[in-house]
Structure formats: structure tokens, C-alpha cells
């Protein structure tokens, strides 16, 4: 469920970059150049954050009957 949200954020950021980058002029002097560079830096942070959230998300635990029985056997073996 969360991965879908991260993918949606990545796609929306890509769309904004697709439409916004041709309008930006990062080589201009003054406030417009600073705005362009900070906007691109923010977009890079958004992409990096969403990619790291997708890559390092905890895996879902599959609770099958075999795994439950293995855990119970281990507990019985270690009991004193």
C-alpha cells in the first residue's frame, strides 16, 4: 500500500520535472537563478527520499503454518 504511494510521488515528481525544467533558467543571475537551482535540488531530494523508502521498506512477514510450527519446535527444544 505504501509502495503505491511512493511510486505515485515519484511519477508526479517526474511529471513536474518534465513540465518545469524547460521553463527554468538556472544560468540566470539573481533571484531567478537561485530559485531554479533550489527547485531542482528539492526535486532531487524528493526523488532520493522516495527511492530510498521503496528500497528500504520492511518486507512483509509471511506467516505460514510451517513457519509457526518451526517456531514452536524451537521453543520446545530450548526449554529447560
3 state SS of 24: coil
Global pTM? 0.66
Residue 71: what pLDDT? 59
Residue ranges making up the domain that contains 21: 2-78
Residue 66: what pLDDT? 60
Taken in order 15, 18, 24, 27, the sign of the CA dihedral is positive
The span from the CA of 10 to the CA of 79, in Å, is: 50
Per-residue model confidence as pLDDT tens for the chain (80 residues) = 688 898 999 999 999 999 999 888 878 888 989 999 999 999 999 999 999 998 887 777 666 666 666 555 555 556 66
> How big is the chain by its Cα radius of gyration, in Å?
23
Give the number of domains in the chain. Answer: 1
User: What is the grid cell recorded at 27?
Assistant: 544560468
The span from the CA of 76 to the CA of 80, in Å, is: 9
User: What is the grid cell recorded at 42?
Assistant: 528539492
Amino acid at each position: 500500500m505504501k509502495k503505491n504511494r511512493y511510486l505515485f510521488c515519484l511519477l508526479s515528481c517526474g511529471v513536474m520535472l518534465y513540465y518545469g525544467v524547460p521553463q527554468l533558467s538556472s544560468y540566470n543571475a539573481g533571484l531567478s537563478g537561485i530559485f531554479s537551482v533550489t527547485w531542482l535540488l528539492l526535486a532531487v531530494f524528493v526523488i532520493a527520499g522516495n527511492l530510498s523508502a521503496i528500497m528500504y521498506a520492511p518486507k512483509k512477514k509471511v506467516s505460514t503454518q510451517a513457519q509457526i510450527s518451526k517456531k514452536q519446535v524451537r521453543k520446545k527444544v530450548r526449554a529447560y
